[in-house]
């Protein structure tokens, strides 16, 4: 049995463990795991969809360029949260561990574990591409924040409600008069 066939046969099990481990990295992991509704739980849904697409592309042996949309779907979420860069891309590297765990449970497949170098290399490339996307996302965030500071819009986004702010200003000016 070829490596891609084996991974295809074990895909559901690999995905289950990989998604669970990735969602465990969030503080609200219980909610992200339970709710499958795309509207109520966009983070969990996008993580599931993105990881599923990444694994499918890896199994099919697709070119790295095809990974960009599904990596972006995952990394864009992780870039705006309190993850360090290494924590943001860690799920992609954990896929190696997950694959080994799943394959080591089957005695017939254990022989294929020696031939995992090629998939390991591909996973490393995917993780590096994810890191590039993470850096781009963080750069966009900083540019937006800088632009808000320059324009003064941060007052309306980081402060109190605008109407409350104006009421407070009006009340203080009436007290002076």
Q: What's the pLDDT at 1?
A: 58
What are 139-175's pLDDT values in tens digits?
999 998 888 888 876 655 555 555 665 667 667 666 6
Give the position of tokens 């463990």.
17
Nearest to 54 by CA among 129, 150, 166: 129
Q: Which residue range is the domain that position 123 belongs to?
A: 3-176
Q: Is residue 71 predicted with pLDDT exceeding 70?
A: yes
Q: What's the pLDDT at 69?
A: 94
Radius of gyration of the chain (CA): 22
Q: Domain count of the chain?
A: 1
Task: Give yes or no for a contact between 126 and 134, defined as CB atoms under 8 angstroms apart.
Answer: no
Q: Is residue 49 predicted with pLDDT exceeding 90?
A: yes
Nearest to 119 by CA among 58, 54, 50, 52: 58
Arithmetic mean of pLDDT over the chain? 84
Q: What's the pLDDT at 173?
A: 64
Provide the sign of the torsion angle of the four alpha carbons 93, 54, 131, 137, taken in this order: negative
Number of other residues whose CB lies within 10 A of the CB of residue 121: 10
What are 74-100's pLDDT values in tens digits?
999 999 988 899 999 999 999 999 998
Going by pLDDT thresholds of 50, 70 and 90, the confidence category of residue 13 is very high
Q: What percent of the chain has pLDDT over 90?
A: 48
Round to whole Å and give the CA distance between 9 and 116: 16
Q: What's the pLDDT at 62?
A: 92
Q: pTM value?
A: 0.76
Which residues does 74 contact at the CB level (< 8 Å), separation at least 6?
A: 46, 47, 50, 51, 54, 91, 130
Round to whole Å and give the CA distance between 27 and 37: 19
Q: Where are the beta strands (DSSP E) in 70-145?
A: none
The helix or strand, by DSSP H or E, that contains position 149, with its residue range, turns out to be helix 117-151
* Average pLDDT of the residues in 44-51: 93
Q: What's the pLDDT at 21?
A: 93
Phi, psi for 36 (deg, rounded to 5) = -100, 0
* Average pLDDT of the residues in 112-131: 86
């Amino acid at each position: 049995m070829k490596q891609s066939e084996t991974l295809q046969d074990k895909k559901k099990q690999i995905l289950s463990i990989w998604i669970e481990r990735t969602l465990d990295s969030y503080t609200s992991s219980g909610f992200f795991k339970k709710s499958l509704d795309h509207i109520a739980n966009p983070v969990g849904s996008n993580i599931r969809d993105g990881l599923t697409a990444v694994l499918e592309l890896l199994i099919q042996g697709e070119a790295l360029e095809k990974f960009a949309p599904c990596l972006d779907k995952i990394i864009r979420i992780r870039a705006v949260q309190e993850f360090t860069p290494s924590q943001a891309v860690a799920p992609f590297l954990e896929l190696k561990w997950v694959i080994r765990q799943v394959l080591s449970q089957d005695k017939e497949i254990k022989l294929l574990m020696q031939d995992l170098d090629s998939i390991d290399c591909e996973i490393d490339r995917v993780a590096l591409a994810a890191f590039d996307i993470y850096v781009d996302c963080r750069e966009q965030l900083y540019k937006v924040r800088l632009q808000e500071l320059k324009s003064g819009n941060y007052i309306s986004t980081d402060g109190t409600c605008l109407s409350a702010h104006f009421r407070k200003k009006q009340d203080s000016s009436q007290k002076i008069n």
